[in-house]
Amino acid sequence: MKWLAAYLREFFSRKYTAVFWGAFDPPTEAHYAIIAAVLAHQKIEDLIIVLNNHNYKNYLYSLEIRQQLLQSKYATENRVRFVWQDDQNEYRYERLQLLTRRPLCAVAGYDAYKQWLKNTDARELHRQYQAIAVVPRGDEVPVILSARTFLLKIDLRYRYISSTMMRAAFVSKTSDSVRIPDSDFNASTK
């Protein structure tokens, strides 16, 4: 039993590099709240933000604009790094591991976490990522299926915001019904 106590002590004191994938099309207040929660969490040492830019998606904003918005927001935060991926340039576990010496913690909304579990054996998922931070979405209470998975709490008001909702608001010119991330967003998209 001493080995179990030692393992648990080491496991719970371990620091991680978090990985947060997303299109960020556009970046929202919810994205910023998630990033703030990641950086404030005691288990997280640093963060890699992976901007998706896949051919099959019809992005409203170019990769360059999305990168600029995120990078300008976190220009003074030395614990945040940015990479981008597309269909030929993917950042999966092995490639991400080359960017850090720490174990990896995947950051996923509860909807993405459920999809992961549906398509991947939980043991296989944890062989790749040593921890998973699950972000609640909407009213749903996340079911956490592993001791290596933890809930990353964000303010309730951000649990309902999505980039899809933001794009729809911008296209229909009803942006007053959603929270615009910051004034830089409006200036850079005109």
In a domain, 165, yes or no: yes
Specify if 50 maps to a domain: yes
* Structural domain containing residue 98: 14-188
Alpha-carbon distance of 12 to 148, in angstroms, equals 9
Please state the rounded mean pLDDT for residues 64-73.
Answer: 95
* Domains contained in the chain, number: 1
> In this predicted model, which residue has the larger pLDDT, 188 or 88?
88
Q: Is 56 exposed, middle or buried (0-12, 13-18, 19+ CB in 10 A)?
A: exposed
pLDDT digits 0-9 by tens, 87-128: 999 998 889 999 998 999 999 988 888 888 888 766 677 678
Model pTM score: 0.81
The closest alpha carbon to 28, from 161, 156, 157, 159, belongs to 161
- Bridge partners (DSSP) of residue 22 are 51
Residue 7 located in a structural domain = no
Nearest Cα residue to 47 out of 28, 19, 24, 25: 19
Strand order in the sheet with 44-52: 80-85, 44-52, 16-22, 104-109, 131-135, 149-151
Q: What is the mean predicted confidence (pLDDT) over 159-180?
A: 66
In a domain, 5, yes or no: no
Q: What pLDDT was estimated at residue 187?
A: 38
Query: Where do the DSSP E strands lie in the chain?
Result: 16-22, 44-52, 80-85, 104-109, 131-135, 149-151
The domain spanning residue 137 has which CATH number? 3.40.50.620
Measured CA angle at 100 (ends 35, 51), to 5 deg? 45
Is residue 176 a part of any domain in this protein? yes
Q: Could you give the maximum distance between any two Cα atoms of the chain, in Å?
A: 62
Amino acid 163: pLDDT: 75
pLDDT tens digit string along 119-160?
Answer: 876 667 767 888 999 999 888 888 887 778 899 989 988 888
1 domain residue, yes or no: no
